[in-house]
Every structure is written in structure tokens, then in C-alpha cells.
């Protein structure tokens, strides 16, 4: 008989490793992308990025993901936040970095894009893992 998830003596599954970007335009607005239909948490807004593949560094994963998703060349900067939580039924560890970019972001996978002023980020429905990042960005802006 196998133990049920969460039973004493079982090891919880490792979190999915994800990296995301805080991308700002010349006016200081932050880029959000909308999750497309057919994906977990479809319709919610998030910081662009994606899963880190085995053997890939967070920086190289973010450069790859932003090229694939948005068609931009990214220069990855400092870590903004690192959050781990349940995100729609999956345990996720999200590493968020500041990113400078070249090119014009476009939804290469059909996703909508929005340039959002920092103070308006809380108005956008987001996955649970992105919400603490918004709070951290708002707190940093007050410092």
C-alpha cells in the first residue's frame, strides 16, 4: 500500500523551478503577459518567463524564454524576489529578476501584453505565486 501525498513519512514533490522578469519601459511601466487558453491558470496576468530546464541556469532560462515568448533580447540583472508557494495545484519556486531588453515585445505565442504602472499591478488578476512579487515591488518603491 502506498502512502497518500502529505502523509507522515512521505517527501513532498520538488517545486517546479520557474524564472520570470520584471521588464520596465521608458516610462517605468512593467510588462505583464496574459496566460492563454488551454494552460493552467488561463486568463490570469503574470510576469513573463517560464520553466527552468534541467542543467539550465535561471539567467539562461530567462533569456531563452523571453526570446521565445516575446521576441526580445534580454540582459538579466539583479534578483527582485524569490517566492515558493502553491500555484494552482502545483508547488512552484519563482525566481524573479530585473531585465533590460532590446527589441519590441510581442506575444509570439498569441498572449496579450500590457504595460502597467507599478501602482496598478494589484488591480490585475494574477496567479498566487506572482502576488507576493507585486507586494515586494510596491514596498521597494516606497523605500
Annotated binding site: 35, 46-49, 69
Tell me the binding residues for Mg(2+).
49, 69
Q: Considering only CA atoms, which of 119, 112, 3, 103 is closest in space to residue 48?
A: 112
How far apart CA 67 and CA 65 sit, in angstroms, is: 5
Tell me the binding residues for 8-oxo-dGTP.
35, 46-49
Q: 75: Cβ–Cβ under 8 A, 6 or more apart, which residues?
A: 99, 100, 101
Task: Please say whether the beta carbons of 79 and 96 come within 8 A.
Answer: yes
First to last CA, the chain: 54
The sheet that has 16-23: what strands, in order across it? Answer: 49-51, 16-23, 90-102, 73-87
| H/E run at residue 127 | none
Amino acid at each position: 500500500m502506498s502512502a497518500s501525498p502529505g502523509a507522515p513519512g512521505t517527501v513532498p514533490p520538488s517545486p517546479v523551478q520557474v524564472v520570470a522578469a520584471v521588464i520596465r519601459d521608458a516610462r517605468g511601466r512593467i510588462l505583464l503577459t496574459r496566460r492563454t487558453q488551454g494552460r493552467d491558470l488561463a486568463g490570469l496576468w503574470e510576469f513573463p518567463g517560464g520553466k527552468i530546464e534541467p542543467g539550465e541556469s535561471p539567467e539562461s532560462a530567462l533569456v531563452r524564454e523571453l526570446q521565445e515568448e516575446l521576441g526580445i533580447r534580454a540582459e538579466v540583472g539583479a534578483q527582485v524576489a524569490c517566492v515558493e508557494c502553491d500555484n494552482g495545484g502545483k508547488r512552484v519556486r519563482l525566481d524573479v529578476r530585473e531585465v533590460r531588453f532590446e527589441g519590441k515585445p510581442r506575444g509570439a505565442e498569441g498572449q496579450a501584453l500590457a504595460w502597467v504602472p507599478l501602482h496598478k499591478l494589484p488591480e490585475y488578476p494574477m496567479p498566487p505565486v506572482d502576488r507576493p512579487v507585486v507586494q515586494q515591488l510596491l514596498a521597494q518603491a516606497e523605500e
